[in-house]
Amino acid sequence: MTARATLATRQDFDHTGRPVSRVHTLRSQAPLILRPTHAKEPEPQALRTGSVARVSLVSGAAGPLGGDDFELNIRVGAGSTLLLNEISSTLLLPGARGGRSSMRINIAVEEDATFVWMGEPIIAARGCHHVHTINIELAASARLFMRDELQFGRHKEQPGNLLQNMRVKRDGQPLFCQQQQIGPAAVGWRSCAVLGQHKCMGTVLVVDPQWCAAQPQTNLFAADAALLPLEGPAVMISALAAETWTLRKHLEHGINLLGGGWSVATAEPARADRHAGRYRDKPDQAMPSFDTIRQGNDYEYTN
């Protein structure tokens, strides 16, 4: 199966002249289904100020399976803020005929824009053979918050093969490049120097131009978790755990150590007034209106 999805936001202005973030383009192809949504979980406090466009990635079918090829393209327009949620974990499975599956995620964040990606775990089931590639291009004044979690096999199961490549550029210059390979094809990934007996690995990457003057310092806040400053206004929070619940707690603790706008705040989901066509909690923001086109398994929305 081949699937492509595209998401883009832009900055508009409401009736009072205040800037608001709106979904400009939303195109989906099963099983990569994108849907505008409300708040799903605790979010960074920075999102409590200003307007946020929230979109969730929904799995419309099982997979990726061996042989599948998926691609997701995201552009966060200048001055806008996009929060991307995922409704459930991604389960990587072997196909009936074997073969390699692949997922490419290309993200561009323009000037003064903010992209927050609250990803759910990627589970490498036994027998899978998957390549996961994430490419992010940030403008000099762009902000990024990205959570990435991996689980190696289901309960009491050995994992399949997973190769993940993550590359982040800021203002055209390399900022972060990481490659991880786990499974039978990788040599030494179960060693004490890599993962040992841990079954889960997680990373949070935060890029904030305001840190150019004062960047958070290195902090080993747990035996298997640390906050690490990167070259440039960025930090990486990395953690290992035996299960996803502990991993998520480690990552949240590291996020809260950042303080300021990036600490996690409990947000109440906005309630929608369908009759008025506006958010009750934020009456200045109109509910997204979309002209809908549906052809087979393809969904396209343009505002």
What's the pLDDT at 290?
39
Asked if residue 264 has pLDDT above 90, the reply is no
What's the pLDDT at 100?
92
Residue-wise pLDDT for 86-104, tens only, equals: 998 999 999 877 789 999 9
Asked if residue 48 has pLDDT above 50, the reply is yes
Nearest partner of 165 among 175, 177, 176, judged by Cα: 177
Q: Which residues of 99-129 are buried (b: 16+ CB within 10 A; e: fewer)?
A: ebbbbbbebbbbebbbbbbbbbbbbbbebbb
What's the pLDDT at 253?
94
Can you tell me the mean pLDDT for 201-219?
90
Residue labelled with tokens 């841990």: 198
Query: Could you give the CA distance from residue 101 to residue 68 in angstroms, rounded to a whole number?
Result: 5
What's the pLDDT at 246?
94
Nearest partner of 217 among 229, 232, 206, judged by Cα: 229
What's the pLDDT at 17?
87
Q: Which residue has the higher pLDDT, 22 or 300?
A: 22
> DSSP letter at 256?
H
What's the pLDDT at 282?
44
* Residue 3, CA distances (Å) to 23, 29, 61 in order: 21, 6, 11
This prediction's pTM: 0.85
Query: Could you give the CA distance from residue 263 to residue 256 in angstroms, rounded to a whole number?
Result: 4
What's the pLDDT at 20?
93
Can you tell me the mean pLDDT for 64-72?
93
% of the chain exceeding 70 in pLDDT: 87
* Residue 94 contacts residue 63 (beta carbons within 8 Å): no
Can you tell me the mean pLDDT for 34-39?
91
* Residue 18 contacts residue 284 (beta carbons within 8 Å): yes
Query: Could you give the CA distance from residue 234 to residue 214 in angstroms, rounded to a whole number?
Result: 11
Asked if residue 268 has pLDDT above 80, the reply is no
* Continuous segment of H or E residues that includes residue 148: strand 143-151
Query: Could you give the CA distance from residue 49 to residue 33 in angstroms, rounded to a whole number?
Result: 28
What's the pLDDT at 273?
42
Under the banding of pLDDT at 50, 70 and 90, the label for residue 231 is confident
Least confident of 12-16, 94-98, 141-145, 294-298: 294-298
What's the pLDDT at 271?
45
Asked if residue 287 has pLDDT above 80, the reply is no
Q: Average per-residue pLDDT in the chain?
A: 85
> DSSP letter at 126?
T
Give the β-pairing of 143-151 and 114-118. parallel
